[in-house]
Structure 1
Amino acid sequence: MPNPIIDTTQLQCDKGTKPTALIVTSQTFMKIDGKLQATEDDIKPNENIMPFGQCKLKMYLGGLFPCIPAPTKWQDISVFDIDNKKELLDKSICPCSVGGKISVIKTAQTFVAEE
């Protein structure tokens, strides 16, 4: 079952060389484990999604250019919303207009298994 994600959840672009943490700025009141819950509006490059190291699709003679995110729109999001913005889930993905795909690699919250 997909779970909502929160501030500091680790994201990875499949064309980048390192992960980065999601920074939630889209809402200020809904929290899980004391951290703000992410929504589809947490998509701004260099504000919500920081660079992913170097981009494997952008090469030059001396190596690779920085992997500056160019997200288009979150997909596989929740049907539930926070302040009219759909929740992001640990299965959510976001295509990058350069050619990569941004996805969740590690959630920041702790889940307790039901017995």
Structure 2
Amino acid sequence: MAHQVTMGAMLQCSCGTAPSSLNVLPLKRVLAEGPPAANIMDHAPMVNIMPFGMCNSLANPTVASATAAAMGVLTPMPCIPMTVAPWIPGAPTVLIANQPALNNNSKCLCTWGGSISVTNPATVKTLLP
């Protein structure tokens, strides 16, 4: 069983150097153990998904430029998430604001090559099928 993800859940990007937290806007939402519950559409960069410290992905143009300027030595640059697609797969049998609920097994892909995962869903009792 997967856990429902809510605002304040801890996230980690495979290309980031620090964890981040999920922000869920409380518009037409249900509460799960206190904070608003998330759905798969809570993927907007700098609104729902905050930066992960520094980015190590050479697919990120700023990292590629800094690395080239450093004669090929990988030079991390500040993370600016580029999440253009929803979280996958979500919980298709549970809808929140007419979208599948976000569970702790879901992933969100960053355009720069990172895979964002939920490390702590911020719930302990709310399980999803």
Under a length normalisation based on structure 2, what TM-score does the superposition of the two structures give?
Answer: 0.79
Query: Which letter maps to 1:16?
Result: G
> What is the aligned counterpart of 1:77 among 90, 112, 116?
90
- Any residues of structure 2 matched to 1:69-108 within 5 Å, and which? 69-71=81-83, 72-79=85-92, 80-108=94-122
Q: Percent identity?
A: 33
2:87 paired with 1:64: no
1:10-43 deviation line (CA, Å, top 9, x unaligned): 0010000001110001634301111100011211
Larger RCO (CA under 8 A, 6+ residues apart):
2
| Residue of structure 2 in register with 1:15 after alignment | 15
| Residue of structure 2 in register with 1:25 after alignment | 25
* Aligned-partner Cα distance in 1 for 2:27–2:104: 18
More strand by percentage: 1
| Residue of structure 1 in register with 2:60 after alignment | none
Query: Could you tell me how far 1:82 is from its partner in structure 2?
Result: 1.4
Under a length normalisation based on structure 1, what TM-score does the superposition of the two structures give?
Answer: 0.88
More helix by percentage: 2
* Aligned-partner Cα distance in 2 for 1:81–1:27: 14
1:50-93 deviation line (CA, Å, top 9, x unaligned): 00000011251393111111113211211121121111000000
Query: Unpaired runs of 5+ in structure 2?
Result: 58-62
Moved over 4 A (4+): none
